[in-house]
Chain A
Amino acid sequence: MVASAPPWAVVLVPVILAGFAFAAAAADGIFTARAAGVRLTGAVAAAPLAEVARLLAGQRRATPAADRVLWRSGLIAVPVAAALAAVVIPFGSVTVSRMSVGVVWFNAMEVLTWAAVWMAGWGANATLGLVGGYRFVAQGLAYQLPLMFALICAAAGAQSLNVAQVVTAQAHLWFAVWMPAAFAVYLAAVYAFSFLGPFSYPAGRDLAGGVMAELSGPDRLMLQAGRWLLLTAGAGMAVPLFLGGGAGPLLPTWVWSAVKTLAVLAVLVWARRRLPTIRADRYAEVAWVVLIPLTIVQALVVSLVVLTRGGVPL
């Protein structure tokens, strides 16, 4: 059973999230160094910390006729959305918010990034940033509906939008096992809303960084950290939604939550350099023609199983 954490625990959410995000970024640096044939040292693993120092000491770039309010609010909204999305993720057997519509809350916070990234792109008043911001919206049109159907699959399987209920419903069998299509679509969407890996189109190197192109110093830190926090929140949410939450033998539940989150993060980080960027115009085709029907069929199967057997398919 998942219990409520005391209210003050809300301040721990960004701290824990940042801890996992640092681990992910460090692993990413190690994978990068290995590919480049560089010797692995402590400095390679600590590179994300050095990067934070570099950006904190950096000068903020100003562009002519920028819309500063829009620009900065967009930048701040990205990490804030990631932290807010994470308040419904149970860590072991405690959760900060046991709200009855946790799944919808997570989705809503992630949709905040649509506005945030677009604002960050528009506000700089520069071509490449603007194109990058619109790329995120185009990408959103492609990934969002399949993601929502994937979330509906998990919610339907548990007959509840409460994340704790979703965990309880997986006591016998993980949703990842009998909803593989929904799980795969969810993982792809995690890349998409954090615009990393094959979905880094809005911040593509072809656009000299796209939404990131004009950012320096603390502004850049905000958006870059936001991306990694979103990836971490997405990986963290995969655990209660599809991987049975904190359930597991021998070890305490919080350890299982951490281990499963790190495992999902490791897969996402490892795979992120192994695929070319998928352009939104091509992905939209696949998303609407293949993934939406696929996830709808998945949701139908889940619904039929729940109706006939009252729960898991066993």
Chain B
Amino acid sequence: MGLTQALLRVGAARPHVMIASVPGGTEVRLAAEAELRRRGWPAAPSPADADVLLIAGNVPGELDDPVAEVWRAVPAPRARTQAVSPDEVPAALDRARSLAGDLSRQRAALPVPGDPPDEGEGPQAGGGPGHKNGGPGGMQMPGGMDMAGGMGMAGEMGMAGGLRVASRGEDRDGLKLDQLHVPLGPFLPDWPAGLVVRVTLQGDVIQHATAGFVGVTGEGRPYWYEPWLRAAGERADVGEAARRRTAAYLDSLGRFLAVAGWDLAAVTARRLRDESLANAPEATLGPAVRKFARRVCRSRVLAWATRGLGVLSPAEAVAAGVGGPALRAGGDVCTRYRQWCAEVAEAAAVFADRSPADPGLLEGPRGPLDGRAAPSAGLVAVLPGLLAGAEFAAARLIIASLDPDADELAPAGVGAGHGG
């Protein structure tokens, strides 16, 4: 066995996995995250750190190019794999690991020098989307983002190294600074599936932003809403709805805390989320959830880091159609995550309640399902206003504290009842 093969084998024992989650793929993503946590495989923060690209769910046509772009940014040795249902996740990961550690198959997949780069090269452990060459304005990821600005080449406006050079504009301090047009999403770590926020950056300050979902096909099941949708027809009990709500908020909190850089709390949120969905006994889960919520709620450092960011007053929230915890919190990022904590602690108290849920009294984790626009549509609508003028880190915290869910926009789901 050669040295390279040995290194490859050892390195692939614990591959770093990037999960590309697409609208409608929530259940698969949850299964994948839980499986990675159990195996102790790290989640890659960017394609450059990934060995395995795991596509969670069915990729809608609109997301083919972005997926291909992410795949091109993954360095060898690499493996692409896909799971379209939760049961497929362990096998998909196993396949990917053996592929990533196999020197001959990796060598065979390397592109011939001189050939134009194409996502078709490179090993695949599972179905993959076709590829149409994305133009320069295509969806971009951290890898391969077209950063052409800030090079200080005032005399050479136009092209540099095949990239457009940034234009300039007034910034908030009255200086003339380079403007970069950067799309964020749809595949970033700890980022809502399918969300794309296009920002104009000067330095790390966002001057202008637009937000929207891509890849919403209407076929996805709004996973977090299942008990509520079911309550309209069959019976779901209060305890089941409370578990799902707890898991939904813990999922949002996990993302938010990861963006805030509080690793330990993020891992705890995700572990409790998985236990909540796996029907862990309420005698141990309830107190653990309440303890976690109390600790996050009381953290002074987190409050200090998030106070004053992304203020959304109740009046603005109502006008935009925002409901649920974001409306009830009626304030900044800090009040919003504290609202999640409070509601999680509340829901954890009724895990054991087996009485039937009253569909009239219940609402989904992000707002009421009353047949009007989905609550997440409102959350996306307020984003541009909240992001303008925010620094990059603050913008990520604002987005994570609202955490819009693309699945809600699936027309077959919200308001219409779910036929199973």
Residues of A at the B interface (CB closer than 8 Å) are 32-33, 35-38, 43-44, 47, 49-51, 53-61, 63-65, 125-131, 134-135, 198, 200-201, 204-209, 212-217, 220, 273-279, 281-282
Can you spell out 10 A-B residue pairs with CB atoms less than 8 angstroms apart? A38-B40, A43-B14, A47-B40, A54-B12, A128-B46, A128-B145, A129-B147, A205-B258, A209-B48, A277-B262
Q: Which single residue of chain B is at the shortest CB-CB distance from A49?
A: B10
Q: Within 8 Å CB of A37, what residues of B?
A: 37-38, 271
C-alpha gap A74/B46 in the complex (Å): 20
B10 contacts which of A53, A131, A204 (Cβ < 8 Å)?
A53
**Would A65 and B188 be within 8 Å (CB), given that A277-B261, A279-B305 are in contact?**
no
Across the A-B interface, give the 6 residue pairs with the lowest CB-CB distance, nearest first.
A65-B161, A277-B261, A54-B11, A57-B7, A206-B396, A276-B262
In the assembled complex, which residues on chain A have CB atoms less than 8 Å from the CB atom of B13? Answer: 43, 50
**Known contacts A65-B161, A127-B147; A276/B142 CB under 8 A:** no
| A47 in contact with B14 given A58-B75, A205-B189, A276-B261 (CB within 8 Å) | yes
* Structural contact, A206 and B264, CB atoms closer than 8 A: no
Q: Give the docked Cα–Cα distance between A288 and B78 (Å).
A: 46
Structural contact, A214 and B142, CB atoms closer than 8 A: yes
CB neighbours (8 Å) of A43 from chain B are 13-14
Q: Tell me which of B11, B76, B264 contacts A273 (CB under 8 A).
A: B264
In-complex Cβ contact of A214 among B48, B51, B396 (8 A): B48
Residues of chain B within 8 A of A49, CB atoms compared: 10
Flag if A44 contacts B40 (CB, 8 Å).
Answer: yes
- Whether A131 and B204, one on each chain, are in contact in the complex, defined by CB atoms closer than 8 angstroms, is yes
Residues of A within 8 A of B39 (CB): 38
When distances are taken between beta carbons in the complex, the residues of chain B under 8 Å from A35 are: 263-264, 267-268, 271
Instruction: Digitize B290-307: 1 where CB-to-A-CB distance is under 8 Å, 0 elsewhere.
Output: 000000000101101100
A171 to B97 Cα, complex, angstroms: 55
Number of interface residues of B (CB under 8 A): 68
Residue among A130, A135, A215 with max Cβ neighbours from chain B (10 Å) = A130
Tell me whether A220 and B301 are in contact (CB under 8 A).
no
Instruction: State whether A276 touches B301 (Cβ < 8 A).
Output: yes
Contact of B161 among A38, A64, A201, A220 (CB under 8 A): A64
A128 surroundings in chain B (CB, below 8 A) = 46, 142, 145
Cα distance A131–B199 in the bound complex, in angstroms: 14
What is the CB-to-nearest-CB distance from A120 to chain B, in angstroms, rounded to a whole number?
A: 13
B266 to chain A, nearest CB (A): 9
Task: State in angstroms the CA–CA spacing of A59 and B122 once bound together.
Answer: 13
Q: Pick the contact of A63 from B45, B144, B299, B304 — CB < 8 Å?
A: B144
Most chain A CB inside 10 Å of its own CB: which residue of B12, B299, B304: B304
Q: Name the residue of chain B whose CB is nearest to the CB of A58.
A: B75
Known A37-B38, A53-B10, A206-B190; further 20 A-B contacts with Cβ < 8 A: A35-B263, A36-B271, A50-B11, A56-B7, A58-B51, A58-B77, A64-B161, A65-B148, A127-B142, A127-B145, A131-B204, A201-B393, A206-B392, A206-B393, A212-B45, A273-B263, A276-B257, A276-B262, A276-B305, A278-B301
Picked from B11, B162, B180, the residue with its CB within 8 Å of the CB of A58 is: B11
Q: Does B79 touch A at the CB level, under 8 Å?
A: no
In-complex Cβ contact of A127 among B77, B201, B271 (8 A): B201
